């Protein structure tokens, strides 16, 4: 009996050791992926493994492998979990984690990062975080600490390569050149972070995310941003956000733009049945076929509108309950949708126009 107990304990010990080794190997791979700015395929990992990764990533405030690679970490989270995780609770944790670190990295538009997300990935807690970002609430102590660490790293690299400025200070200092470089880097880093405003992170990408989530409470913030914005492209982003949130004037303005019928990403972001008239009219008017030509050494390809429309429909499910199904791979340059087939699609769109539902998750 004693030998059976010893053997049983031995098996448990081996099992625990194997699991620990497996977890360590998994996290080592995560760190390697983050440092090399690569995504990780979550589809081959079960929910427990994905949760272990999320739990590890939440230690970003204390783990230098994470906070010293904060921009890569940001990319790793959205490109890994939004692309391939099938667990809603994991995707929601990933979304919240992204918003936690959003103001620690480089302030860039970054609207692309939620392209692979679903609206259900952003729960009530995440929406509150988005609202706080758009309200430009003061930085938390953790945000300020990590912003300073990263800025200090950047300034140290900068001053390690600088000789002219450092030499001028060296003439008046008793410090060694290395001490002086570190002192200058620290002073500049502290000054930069002290002068950094949370408003720097109120960017079009975050505003478009809020609009995509139908957060109508952000309308006053977006309207105020539009009022003071001079860049036309940024103004267009704000108008698109407000159109998504119900501003019919801006929606009409957007739908009058030349060739807007071909910009399916804009049409699906608007997410209203008002886009159907434009799609139907363009389907009727476009009688072109697939062809290519060369000009200045560049090959140009024309794909009929019906094929472009069906490609986007297959990829993004723009129109819900669309009864026509096609092989996506056959809708490219070699796409051959005859007039009879096209007319069937047009007829269905016209007959069901008032009943059609546009996929609000499309973006």
Angle of helix 2-35 versus helix 70-77 axis, rounded to 10: 110
Mean pLDDT per 10-residue segment, the chain (363 residues): 50 42 85 96 96 97 94 93 96 96 76 80 97 96 94 87 66 71 88 94 93 97 96 95 97 94 93 94 85 70 88 93 90 85 96 94 82
Q: How far is residue 210's CA from residue 363's CA, in Å, rounded to a whole number?
A: 13
CA angle 139, 142, 148 (to 5 degrees): 80
Instruction: Please classify residue 77 by burial: count the beta carbons closer than 10 Å to its beta carbon, then call 0-12 exposed, 13-18 middle and 19+ buried.
Output: buried
**Residue 303 has what pLDDT?**
84
In the chain, domain spans? 2-106+120-134, 141-201, 208-256, 259-363
**Residue 183 has what pLDDT?**
84
**Residue 336 has what pLDDT?**
83
C-alpha distances in Å from residue 322, one per residue of 82, 284, 326, 336, 358? 25, 18, 11, 19, 10
**Residue 15 has what pLDDT?**
42
**Residue 4 has what pLDDT?**
52
28 Cβ contact partners less than 8 Å away, ≥ 6 residues apart: none
Q: How far is residue 38's CA from residue 333's CA, in Å, rounded to a whole number?
A: 31
**What are the φ and ψ backbone dihedral angles of 6, each rounded to 5 degrees?**
-60, -45
Give the chain's radius of gyration (CA, Å): 27
Q: Is 125 helix (H, G, I), strand (E, B) or coil?
A: helix
**Residue 96 has what pLDDT?**
97
**Residue 162 has what pLDDT?**
63
CB 119 within 8 A of CB 361: yes
**Residue 280 has what pLDDT?**
95
């Amino acid at each position: 009996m004693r030998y059976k107990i010893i053997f049983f304990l031995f098996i448990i010990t081996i099992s625990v050791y194997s699991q620990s080794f497996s977890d360590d190997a998994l996290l080592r791979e995560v760190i390697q992926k983050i440092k090399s700015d690569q995504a990780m395929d979550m589809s081959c990992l079960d929910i427990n493994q994905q949760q272990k990764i999320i739990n590890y990533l939440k230690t970003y405030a204390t783990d230098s492998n994470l906070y010293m690679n904060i921009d890569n970490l940001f990319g790793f989270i959205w490109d890994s979990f939004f692309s391939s995780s099938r667990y809603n609770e994991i995707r929601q944790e990933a979304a919240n984690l992204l918003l936690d670190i959003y103001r620690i990295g480089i302030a860039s538009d970054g609207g692309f990062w939620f392209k692979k997300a679903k609206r259900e990935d952003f729960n009530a807690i995440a929406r509150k975080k988005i609202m706080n970002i758009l309200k430009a609430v003061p930085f938390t102590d953790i945000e300020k600490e990590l912003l300073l660490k990263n800025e200090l790293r950047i300034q140290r690299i900068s001053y390690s390569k600088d000789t002219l400025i450092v030499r001028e200070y060296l003439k008046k200092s008793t410090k060694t050149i290395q001490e002086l470089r570190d002192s200058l880097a620290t002073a500049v880093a502290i000054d930069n972070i002290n002068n950094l405003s949370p408003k720097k992170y109120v960017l079009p990408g975050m505003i478009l995310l809020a609009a995509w989530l139908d957060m109508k409470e952000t309308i006053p913030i977006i309207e105020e941003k539009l009022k003071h914005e001079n860049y036309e492209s940024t103004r267009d982003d704000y108008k698109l956000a407000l159109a998504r949130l119900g501003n019919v004037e801006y929606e009409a303005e957007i739908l009058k733009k030349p060739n807007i019928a071909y910009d399916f990403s804009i049409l699906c972001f608007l997410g209203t049945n008002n886009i159907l008239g434009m799609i139907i009219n363009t389907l009727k008017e476009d009688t072109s076929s697939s062809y290519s030509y060369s000009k200045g050494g560049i090959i140009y390809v024309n794909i009929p509108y019906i094929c472009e429309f069906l490609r986007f429909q297959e990829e993004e499910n723009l129109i819900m309950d669309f009864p026509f199904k096609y092989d996506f791979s056959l809708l490219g340059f070699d796409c051959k949708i005859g007039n009879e087939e096209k007319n069937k699609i047009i007829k269905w769109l016209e007959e069901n126009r008032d009943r059609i539902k546009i996929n609000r998750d499309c973006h």
